[in-house]
Chain A
Amino acid sequence: AQSVSQHNHHVILSEAASLELGCNYSYGGTVNLFWYVQYPGQHLQLLLKYFSGDPLVKGIKGFEAEFIKSKFSFNLRKPSVQWSDTAEYFCAVNAPAFNKFYFGSGTKLNVKP
């Protein structure tokens, strides 16, 4: 089975701090990569996705992620976080070779005002 690793389980930041959440996956073939966010009490929703092309992907709310194929990584970044970014963030992978998604264990982000 494939695996997706999110090494930061709980991150606490002050407003305006920069954010980087790590995501590594194990599959060596062509992949599609996703970051989902789950705000308190809300649906899981898509933050951004990478299918092909420019490895630097921009998503909603100022988030971006960089796909580094040689490192099997897809880290999420935001230059300046806000209190409203407090949420749980999930990295996910799927691929043409397998017909399901693999999710990381999630990172809880707490932004202090």
Chain B
Amino acid sequence: DGGITQSPKYLFRKEGQNVTLSCEQNLNHDAMYWYRQDPGQGLRLIYYSQIVNDFQKGDIAEGYSVSREKKESFPLTVTSAQKNPTAFYLCASSIDRASGAYNEQFFGPGTRLTVL
């Protein structure tokens, strides 16, 4: 059963703590993305990665970090430097555009992070 899994579904964190959100895909996609979804603001890109061991900042990367050590995994760390971390976080993947295939993104179920 191919797809994208994100864990946990709900996450609570105390202020000042770092927290890592998991994202795994078994679609054999090269590219992976992290978005933040806030009411009325749509999806805003945090980080993306087109290939293992490489990633780029998106539009709102400050206070976040990522790694891409394996093709199927793209964890996101929300650091204490992120000023307003309470949000819904979505992970997505797509076939790398360099392959010539037209992309559509496939999304995981999301993680709702609440900072207490």
Contacts and interface: CB of A to CB of B under 8 A. Distances in A.
Nearest to B102: A51
Interface in A21-62: 32, 34, 36, 42-46, 49, 51
B25 to A, nearest CB: 13
Given A32-B102, A99-B50, A90 B43 contact: yes
B42 A90 contact: yes
B103 interface: yes
Contacts of A32: 102-103
Given A1-B59, A46-B104, A100 B42 contact: no
Nearest to A106: B42
B8 interface: no
Contact of A103 (B43, B48, B97): B43
A101 interface: yes
B63 interface: no
A4 B74 CA distance: 26
Contacts of A90: 42-43
Chain B interface residue bracket vs A: 20 to 34
A99 B99 CA distance: 12
B45 to A, nearest CB: 6
Given A1-B59, A43-B108, A96-B97, A103 B42 contact: yes
A100 B58 contact: yes
A47 B104 CA distance: 11
Nearest to B106: A46
> Which of A1, A44, A90 is most buried by chain B, counting CB atoms within 10 A of its CB?
A44
24 contacts: A1-B59, A4-B42, A9-B40, A32-B102, A34-B104, A36-B107, A43-B108, A43-B110, A44-B90, A45-B107, A46-B104, A46-B106, A51-B102, A90-B42, A90-B43, A96-B97, A99-B31, A101-B105, A103-B35, A104-B42, A105-B40, A105-B41, A105-B42, A106-B40
Q: Which 6 A/B pairs are nearest by Cβ-Cβ distance?
A: A105-B42, A44-B107, A103-B43, A103-B42, A51-B102, A106-B42
Interface of B: 31, 33, 35, 40-45, 48, 50, 58-59, 90, 92, 97, 102-110
